[in-house]
Every structure is written in C-alpha cells, then in structure tokens.
Amino acid sequence: MQGTRNAPPLGNRMLPEGTFANDVVIVTGGGSGIGKGIATEFGRCGAAVVILGRDPGRRQHGIEAVEAVGGRAIGVSCDVRDAAQIKAAFDEAEAAFGPVTVLVNNAAGNFPAAAEDISANGFRAVTSIVLDGTFLMSTEFARRRIADERGGAILNIAATYAWTGGPGTAHSAAAKAGVVNLTQSLAVEWGPHDIRVNAIAPGLYKHGDMGDHMRLDEPESVEGHQPALRTGQVHELGWAATYLCSDYAAFCSGHTFVLDGANWLRRSLRMPKFEPVRSWLPERAS
C-alpha cells in the first residue's frame, strides 16, 4: 500500500502570482505552526500580512517566514479576548497597510485533561480564545468592511471533533463546535455585504511548534494510523486557506472544509480497543 500521494513541494504557488497583491491579511497566531504556514502562503501570493499575537518572538518568526518568500509583513500585539485591543490592532494594521480585507482566525488554546479536572477558569481560558476571540475579531472586521462597502473574506480554523466530540479536550471541542456554527451564522448574515465566512478543519499536520499533548511517541509510525498513510503538510493548509479567501471561491461561504485525508471518517465495528481517557492523559499535577 502506498497511501495518498504527496502534494507538490513547499515553494509552489497554488494560485496565480499576485492573487492577493491588493489585499491585507490578518492571521491571528500567525507566528507559529499552521498559522505561520498559512501566513506564508498569503505572502507568497502577494498579500500584505499582519501577524497578530501576544508573543513578540513568535510574531517575529511569522514576519521572517513571510519575508523569506518575498512578502511584506508586520507584527501587531493583541489579545483576541479583549475587544479594545482588537480595535487598536486593526487600527495599527490599517495605518500600516490599508483596509484589512482577509481575516484568518487561527489563534487557539488547548490542554489535555479529563473534563472533571478542568476548572472554570481553565475552561474559559480555552473557550475565550477560540470562540470569543473568533467572534470579536470577526465582528470588528465586519463592522469596518460593511461601513466602507469593501467586502472581504474570513477564514476560521475549526477541528473535526466539533462534530465527533473530543474526549480529553472537552473545552476545545466545545469551542470549535461553536466556531463551526458561528461560521454558518455569519456567512448568512454578512453575505449581502460581500463578506464570505468559511472554515478549515485540519487533521494531523506535524510541525516544529506542536505542543507536547499533540506529539505521538508510538513504536509504530503515526502515518500508519491515517487512511492516507501520511500526515498533512502545512503548506497544503496554506493553499486551502488562500483558495477559500480568494475570488476563485467567490461563491463559497458557510462551508467547513475538512482537510485530514479522510481520517475523521474512519469509524467501524473494528475500531481499536477502547481506552478510557485517563489511561492516556498525562498524570495530574499533585
């Protein structure tokens, strides 16, 4: 068995050169992981990219990644849980590059825990970044683009456990389910204003910024646990993001695009032996 073929290598452009030459793109959490990969592909297609986040070091990594492919980028400090900071971040981005026409809501938080061990503050820490942050960023974007009648595109980063549930990450799964629903609601509300809202639900994409809870130290390869017999390449997500936010997808809105090599559909009566959540979660701190 050979599995699904690899995508063209990193460095290829999915869309015509200059597709986003007249666009300003904000990527929240764009300084690491899949956010950085997405920001890079927008830069490769000519966009002016704003790396938005709290960590100055990560913002700089995002800037360097975009500039390495010939793009323009700045970093802007912002906590997506704070509406006042969001407004100030948009003001700073637009003072530098002009009106923001594409928003990628990638910022997230997560940690593995049994639901009964998650405190109220721990639950809110995740949902406020993932769900509240997506709502606050999106509404700030929409108010501006409705007012100036420019339109634009929003892309949210969802997850397949929005539909299946996420044992061991109940807070994140609930928040991502909200993001999928919000994507659908806002697509309908803002369609008349030429604002499209879509989402991507990624599968497993290995990269250097993965948290410890995402690293799988198994004797057999992770690839063998996927129907595609491989994991995703981060630039594949970047290509999907640029397509969904481009005019080539002008009639696509309210859609959540699953990009996981069919892994989330792998359900049958011959599933691997069930393991209770606590058997594979890290031990609780005393």
Active-site residues, by number, are 161
| C-alpha span between 169 and 257 (Å, rounded) | 21
Pairing state between β 102-105 and 72-77 = unpaired
Determine whether 249 is exposed, middle or buried from the number of CB atoms within 10 Å of its CB (0-12, 13-18, 19+). middle
> CB 213: neighbour CB atoms within 10 A?
14
Strand partners, 253: none
- Nearest C-alpha neighbor of 105 from the set 59, 38, 164, 40: 38
The strand pairing partners of 195, in sequence order, are 152
How far apart CA 39 and CA 99 sit, in angstroms, is 17
In sign, the C-alpha dihedral spanning 259, 265, 270, 272 is positive
Q: H or E element: which one contains 38?
A: helix 33-44
The CA distances from residue 8 to 13, 135, 233, 235, in Å, are 9, 34, 10, 9
Give the H or E element holding residue 176.
helix 170-190
End-to-end CA distance of the chain: 46
